Amino acid sequence: MKFPEISGKNLEKKQYNIPYDLEGELNMLIVPFQRWHQTLVDQWSLFLNNIENLNHNFRYYEMPTLNLAYKVMRFMIDGGMRAGIPDKDVRERTITVYINKRLFKKHLNIQSEDTIYLFLIRKNGEILWRTEGQFESYKGDELLKIMKELKG
């Protein structure tokens, strides 16, 4: 299964064609749908930041996902997020996408917007692993095992 091709801008206004412009050989996309999901994203970010620091071929991104109808308000929405995030590294890894969420969720078999979803993908979009919800140590262990197997 492949991650869909979509475009977005990070909070530093850099354009991305996802998955091709992602900077790692392996990339983790954290997909939140609700503002309150930030707590879940932050739990994962602590863990993923450690992986990124040890593996120069791995990058992770937050990908807030909004309906296409909100694109006319992008300046205000992205500006508000930018103002609320003092850390430039976090702004650079936060890519906001304005898409047809119904088609996006159907493509990725996402049943609900009640939690976050994480996708480990290659640069070509191949999905290697996925999970959802809060960070739990067994999920972290699964991810580390997959990454170790990929290194061979």
Query: pLDDT tens, 102-150?
Result: 999 999 999 999 999 999 999 999 999 999 999 999 999 999 999 999 8
Residue 30 has pLDDT above 80, yes or no: yes
Residue 104 maps to which CATH number? 3.40.30.10
Q: What is the residue range of 128's domain? A: 6-151
Q: How many domains does the chain have?
A: 1
Q: What does the pLDDT read at residue 119? A: 98
20 domain residue, yes or no:
yes
Is 13 a domain residue? yes
pLDDT > 70: percent of the chain: 99
The answer to whether residue 132 sits within a structural domain is yes
DSSP the chain: -BPPPEEEEETT--EEEETTT-SSSEEEEEE--SGGGHHHHHHHHHHHHHHHHH-TTEEEEE--EEEGGGGGGHHHHHHHHHHH---HHHHHHBEEEEE-HHHHHHHTT---SSS-EEEEEETT-BEEEEEESS--HHHHHHHHHHHHHHH-
Mean of per-residue pLDDT scores for the chain: 92
For residue 66, being part of any structural domain is answered with yes
Whether residue 28 is contained in a domain is answered as: yes
Please report the pLDDT score of residue 152 as a whole number. 60
- In a domain? residue 99: yes
pTM of the model: 0.93
The answer to whether position 1 is within a domain reads no
67 in a domain, yes or no? yes
The pLDDT confidence band at residue 83, using thresholds 50, 70 and 90, is confident
